[in-house]
Structure 1
Amino acid sequence: MLVTLTIPKADEWLNSNDRRHHMARWRIGRTWREAAKVYAIKAKLPHLQKARITATIHRARSNRSDALNFAPTIKPIIDGLIDYGLLPDDDDKHLLVDVRGGVAGTPRVELVIEDLL
């Protein structure tokens, strides 16, 4: 089973090169985490035991980017899905994650969730 969840850009992007104060990063991460949980509830996502999530980052501009630099944005989104109850935990036993860059346009994160059991 495949399920797609789209989360509109909830706050600023977090990336591995970010040098903001840790409390600013925490605030932004909290916003992404809460948004992920809200969108998961609205979508009535299933509760799974093991899954692969492919996260695609769509930014407004089409300039070069390194998709893995956006892992700090994806982590709080995954945490929000765990808060919702999508999976028992986000450890390696329950979750595989791929991060990809998308096309320019409306800023958003698209998650393709694949049940692995």
Structure 2
Amino acid sequence: MTNLRLSNAFTLGEVLTRAGVAYGDRPNHGLFVPLPDGAEWLSSNRRIHWTQRHRWTATWRETSGWLARAAKVPSLGPSRVIAELWMRPRRRSRIDPANYSATAKPIVDGLVDARIWPDDSSHWVTGPDMRLGPPVKTPHPEGVLLLIWGQPCCRDACCHHHRQEGGEAA
């Protein structure tokens, strides 16, 4: 996965190293989720019909889940997540990354669907903290780079920890 080419000719390994410099330590995992076909950026400032928002949310969620499975991201214990937006500037105004938390939420939900964490409660996931990554130039894809600080958990953490939290297993 470290040879995956991202925007502006960085490899994922280079991006993770840069992130370690920027955020104080190198993340354990990284996952780039490109802007899916048929979906758009979800912003808290953008007013769209609820059915369109639902379709785009489902597309982001499904895409991130499949990419996490394909990348073989292991089940993780409690983790810290930073979501970097890799976007093409569309106008001259500044971008507020916090407005795009509506995009990051279905991406994290997709990772829960892929059994990375049992759920996305504050016990398992801190964040995602929104950041603005480097501007993307054509022909590189726009997307969200998830930087994850978390250690692998037990083999089937989702089943095991759900049973424990529900009181069924010791």
Query: When the two structures are superposed, what TM-score results if normalisation uses the length of structure 2?
Result: 0.65
Alpha-carbon separation, structure 2, partners of 1:50 and 1:21: 35
Alpha-carbon separation, structure 2, partners of 1:49 and 1:84: 14
| Structure-1 residue corresponding to 2:100 | 70
Alpha-carbon separation, structure 2, partners of 1:48 and 1:58: 25
Computed over aligned residues only, the root mean square deviation of the Cα atoms, in angstroms, reads 1.5
| Structure-2 residue corresponding to 1:53 | 81
Which of 1 and 2 has greater Rg?
Answer: 2
| Structure-2 residue corresponding to 1:6 | 32
| Structure-2 residue corresponding to 1:26 | 54
Q: 1 or 2 for the larger relative contact order (CA 8 Å, sep ≥6)?
A: 1
One-letter identity of the residue aligned with 1:27: R
Which digits, 9 at most, give the CA deviation of each residue in 1:28-68, with x for residues without a partner?
00000000001101100010121111100010117410000
**When the two structures are aligned, how many residues end up with a matched partner?**
117
In structure 1, list runs of 5 or more residues that go unmatched: none
The ranges of structure 1 where at least 4 consecutive aligned residues each deviate by more than 4 angstroms after the TM superposition are: none
CA apart distance, 1:16: 0.4
In structure 2, list runs of 5 or more residues that go unmatched: 1-26, 154-170
| Structure-1 residue corresponding to 2:160 | none
Return 78-87 or 53-62, whichever deviates more. Answer: 53-62
CA apart distance, 1:18: 1.6
